[in-house]
Chains A and B, each alone.
Chain A
Amino acid sequence: MTEPVALESITACFRGVIPSPFATCSPDGTPNITYMSIVQYVDSERIALSRQFFNKTRANLDANPVGQVRVVDPDTLEQYELDLEFVHTETQGPTFDAMRANLEAIASQTGMSAVFRLRGVDIHRVVRCASVGPAANTPRARADRDMLGPLDEFTRQLAVCGEYEEAARVALQALEDLFDFAPSILLVRDPVAERLFAVASNGYPRSGAGAEVPVGSGVIGTAASTGQVICVSNVTRSRVMQQAVRSRIDAAGSVATEIALPGLERANSVAGVPLANRNEVTGVLYLESERVGRFGPHNERLLRIIGRHVAAALGGLGSESEDRTAGGEAGAPEQAVASGDGEPLVVTYYQADDSVFVDDAYVVKGAAGRILWKMLREHADAGRTTFTNRELRLDERLGLPAGADNLEARLLVLRKRLAGGRFTIALERVGRGRLALRSPRPLNLSEVPTTGVMSAAHTVRDA
């Protein structure tokens, strides 16, 4: 008989990398096996199992509240059997909420939220935990790496950043340097459109600035809507599982479209970290890894701390202090400058989604599109070339929500989209809170009105 093993020494088994078989027994003595997608560590005496489909297991536990689950350490492949006594089912509370957010994020990534609805979380008392199989032994105590040092350095590097763009860049680089969290994407929430848009990335061949994700859907969108850290420790396994279920449902009814994860083609583990500040989720930090099990319960707490700190750091940058140093009266036009010579650049603005196209090439849409259109119009009409953050923030026609306008993030997206001269027009920072618009060719602007539901908004804004 092997020695009992302390649950806290095998937390690697609860990362969800390898599915766990769970056996129960009916009152007539017939055993039954099901696979658990999540076995969650609750405390030194209890674990939680997700309750989704398993009807026979439910009936068995009601009649005979004992079971056994086998878990595997994904790093060492050591196996442990846990004898369980069913305690109760929870349908609310922190354990339920965290598990539901994680399951639904994965499900909605493949358009299957309704199917993978978490019905409850079964809490079991662990009456015995023992090492089994060929590698049976007592687990080595694996000291968690002390994260205080890297966190100290992370907060120090962010503390010296005076500007939004710099802070975004430094944060993502420090995540790679200090925690080996790369590649990464920083997305900011647009509270009006309920979408998240990418403002910075690290470790990808392309910047991806301006890419959008709807709030409430997929790993990123669910991190934003629930405020929970979402970790998918084994993307391939989750996808195979979803496909298996999907294949059973497609015949019976339609399911929503799968949303592609951004970034790596071969991401094996991903995390969506909410950026929570003043009780609000202002954005999401999205992390990917090619390593299975990179993100999971073992680093959720660290990710939460990082998310809160990044949110606080970015939230404190840019607005008032930047505006005060911008100088000049808000919106005061400087000396008019004529656009350059040559063939006019055709710029089209579509009211329907605030999208801007230059010579038929898409540039940007949404609030960033409205900002660009305002600057282009004033440049064409009055020859203006410089604009201040303050005048943009105070321009009611731009429809930026007071107090949560994410202006710096939007301007960052805009500048990145226009960078490199691919649209001929350039937007550059010329000091704190001040931007310069340059167009070497004359502009030929046209605005396409909308007749749809957004027409009223434009009527109000343009009044």
Chain B
Amino acid sequence: MRIDGQVRELIAGGVATIVATRDEQLRPSIGRGWGISVAADGDEVTLCVEAPAGSRMRANLDAGGVIAVTCSLPTTYRTVQLKGRVLALVDPDAKQLKHVHDHAEAFSAEAEQVGLPPRCGFRFLDDGLVSVSFAVAEVYDQTPGPNAGARM
């Protein structure tokens, strides 16, 4: 599955990024994602996920399996959901952390326009971040409305 130009453009902006995984009992867990990037060929995505040591999210990621990621632009509600299998889990490097910082800036600017306090992205930003790469298998249009959930 390749990510096209429009989706690539959307997720490069100040999107609210939410990650979901699940455990063996199929209980879902939610975490925030930051600094998403799409590989040049468009079928692999890497992002930093709030997954502190000892958390259910961390255990789920360690176990591999399927990850879901929604990216939603606060000022337009344009939303996509990506799903795929986890490929790799590493500590974020300096370049990624810079990308996380830039993303938090962009998200804060977006969120402020819909009534959230200034620089709120940094107040959501956790230091228990782990860099996750996954192979994109499915992309859904998740913009609210009767067609939400349609496969792209």
Residues of A near any B CB (own CB < 8 A): 1, 17-18, 21, 23-25, 27, 29-35, 53-56, 64, 66-70, 74, 77, 79, 81, 83, 115, 132-135, 234, 236-237, 240-241, 243-245, 248-249, 268, 292-293
Q: Which residues of A contact B76 (CB under 8 A)?
A: 240, 243-244
7 contacts between A and B (CB under 8 A): A21-B18, A23-B28, A31-B22, A33-B20, A54-B148, A77-B124, A293-B115
Q: Is A244 touching B144 in the complex (CB atoms < 8 A)?
A: yes
Closest-CB distance, B36 to chain A (whole angstroms): 14
What's the interface size class on B, roughly?
35 or more
Residues of B near any A CB (own CB < 8 A): 18, 20-22, 26-30, 32, 50, 54, 65-70, 72, 74-79, 81, 83, 113-117, 120, 123-127, 142-149
Chain A to chain B: the 9 pairs with minimum beta-carbon distance, closest first: A244-B77, A292-B115, A23-B28, A23-B20, A31-B20, A248-B145, A245-B145, A31-B68, A21-B18
Q: Which residues of B contact A32 (CB under 8 A)?
A: 20, 68, 81, 83
Q: Is A240 touching B26 in the complex (CB atoms < 8 A)?
A: no
Q: Is A64 touching B30 in the complex (CB atoms < 8 A)?
A: no
Bound form: Cα–Cα A115–B70 in Å: 23
Given A23-B28, A240-B77, do A245 and B149 touch, yes or no (CB 8 Å)? Answer: no
Q: Which residues of B contact A132 (CB under 8 A)?
A: 50
Given A53-B145, A83-B27, do A33 and B68 touch, yes or no (CB 8 Å)? Answer: yes
Closest-CB distance, A21 to chain B (whole angstroms): 4
Q: Is B146 touching A249 in the complex (CB atoms < 8 A)?
A: yes
Bound form: Cα–Cα A134–B126 in Å: 5
Q: Which residues of B contact A25 (CB under 8 A)?
A: 20, 22, 26-28
Q: Is B28 touching A67 in the complex (CB atoms < 8 A)?
A: yes
Q: Which residues of A contact B127 (CB under 8 A)?
A: 134
Given A33-B81, A244-B145, do A77 and B117 touch, yes or no (CB 8 Å)? Answer: yes
Q: Is A66 touching B28 in the complex (CB atoms < 8 A)?
A: yes
Q: Is A33 touching B30 in the complex (CB atoms < 8 A)?
A: yes
Q: Is B27 touching A241 in the complex (CB atoms < 8 A)?
A: no
Total of A-B residue pairs, C-beta within 8 Å: 136
The winner among B20, B50, B54, B113 for most chain A CB atoms within 10 A is B20
Q: Is B124 touching A133 in the complex (CB atoms < 8 A)?
A: yes
Q: A237-B114, A244-B78, A248-B143 are in contact. List 7 more A-B contacts (CB 8 A).
A: A18-B116, A24-B28, A25-B22, A33-B68, A240-B76, A240-B77, A243-B77
The winner among A21, A243, A268 for most chain B CB atoms within 10 A is A21
Bound form: Cα–Cα A306–B143 in Å: 38
Bound form: Cα–Cα A298–B65 in Å: 40
Q: Is B123 touching A237 in the complex (CB atoms < 8 A)?
A: no
Q: Is A115 touching B28 in the complex (CB atoms < 8 A)?
A: no
Task: Look across to chain B and name the residue whose beta carbon is closest to the beta carbon of A35.
Answer: B72
Task: Look across to chain A and name the residue whose beta carbon is closest to the beta carbon of B141.
Answer: A248
Q: Is B30 touching A70 in the complex (CB atoms < 8 A)?
A: yes
Q: Is A1 touching B54 in the complex (CB atoms < 8 A)?
A: yes
Q: Is B126 touching A133 in the complex (CB atoms < 8 A)?
A: yes
Q: Which of B29, B65, B78, B143 makes the CB contact (< 8 A) with A29?
A: B65
Given A133-B124, A236-B115, A240-B77, do A30 and B149 touch, yes or no (CB 8 Å)? Answer: no
Q: Which residues of A contact B120 (CB under 8 A)?
A: 77
Q: Is A68 touching B18 in the complex (CB atoms < 8 A)?
A: no
Closest-CB distance, A236 to chain B (whole angstroms): 5
Q: Which residues of B contact A77 (CB under 8 A)?
A: 117, 120, 123-124
Q: Which residues of B contact A244 (CB under 8 A)?
A: 76-78, 143-145
Bound form: Cα–Cα A445–B30 in Å: 72
Q: Is A53 touching B144 in the complex (CB atoms < 8 A)?
A: yes
Given A23-B20, A29-B66, do A34 and B142 touch, yes or no (CB 8 Å)? Answer: yes
Closest-CB distance, A96 to chain B (whole angstroms): 20
